[in-house]
Every structure is written in C-alpha cells, then in structure tokens.
Amino acid sequence: MQDVREALYVGSRSDGRLIRRPMSPHLQVYKMRLSMFLSITNRITGVVATAGSALGVAWLAALAKGPKSFAAARKVTGNPLGQIILGGWILSLVWHTVGGLRHFIWDVGKRDDKKSVNEDGPVAVGVIAGVSVTLAAALLGVSCCRSRSRAKLRKAS
C-alpha cells in the first residue's frame, strides 16, 4: 500500500526489529483502564439500546394491532426472561445516557484532564448502577403490585 500514513507507522522495537507501530487506542497494546472501558461500552450500549428500542416499537405495534397481540406482548414483558431483557434495555439506556453526558462535558472542554477523568469514572459507574437498579426495581414493583391488586378486585367483584 502506497500510503504516506503507512510510513508513519514504521517503528523499531528495543531489539532493533522493525515493527508496525500500533494505532491509538489499541486494545491489544494498552492496559484496559476504566475510562477506556467506559468509552468503548458507550458505543456498545448505544447499539444495545437501539435493539431494545426496536423491541419497544414492537410493543407499540402490538398495542396498535389489538388486544390479542398486546396479550402476546404482555406474555413477553411478564416473563422472567423478558424482564431480564427489559432490565438490560434500561441498563443500556442509562449507561449510554451517562456516557453521552460525560462525552459532552469533555466536548465542551471540561473535566477532560487525566485527574478528573480518573475521578469521574467510578462516579459514573456508581450513577449507572444506582439509577438502573432503582428504575428497574421500582418499575417491576409498581407493575407487580398493581396487577396483583387488580386481580384481587376482579375476584371480589
């Protein structure tokens, strides 16, 4: 390949052997750090959140189609496996939101020095975990309680 950039990748190891220098950030070369992990997972959670939103649209479509298909959708959302998937959607959305906000703060030129980035990383993890667990547990609790009290009402009437 006659690319001038290739020339910039020629380096030599300490034993003198010529090597192709790594691009940055190169997963196989750099030690995994929290900031790196959070930056990579910001993208991954964006993709996962999109897949979850596709399921959300499927839910909307089932609702628009009628009672039968909505009952089928409720079977999925009421099922433990479905709830794990819902929890994963919530987690990925919260993760991507927190990650996106952090990236935006860096983009405006704040908190982007090494010290702040290393300080904020664990805070971000805490916020992600706290918000997702609270949201998922509260939603699950509310829907369980409500369907149970509804079932009781139906029995009583």
Q: Is 71 an interacting residue with respect to other proteins (CB under 8 A)?
A: yes
- The one-letter code for the residue type at 45 is T
Q: Is 144 an interacting residue with respect to other proteins (CB under 8 A)?
A: yes
User: Do residues 124 and 131 lie in contact, with contact meaning Cβ atoms separated by under 8 Å?
Assistant: no
Taking CB under 8 A as the criterion, the residue among 72, 84, 123, 138 binding other proteins is 138
Q: Name the residue nearer to other proteins (CB basis): 34 or 139.
A: 139
Q: Is 84 an interacting residue with respect to other proteins (CB under 8 A)?
A: no
Token couple for 153:
């009402």
Cβ contacts of 70 within 8 Å, gap of 6 or more: 62, 63
Q: Name the residue nearer to other proteins (CB basis): 9 or 122.
A: 9
Which alpha helices (H) appear in the chain, and where do they start and end?
Answer: 4-8, 34-65, 67-78, 80-107, 114-156
Q: Name the residue nearer to other proteins (CB basis): 52 or 121.
A: 52
- Find the length of the chain: 157
* Residue with token string 């369980």: 144
| CB of 86 vs other proteins, minimal distance in Å | 10
Binding site for other proteins (CB under 8 A): 2-4, 7, 43, 46-47, 49-50, 53-54, 56-57, 60-61, 63-65, 67, 70-71, 93, 97, 100, 104, 107, 135, 138-139, 142-148, 150
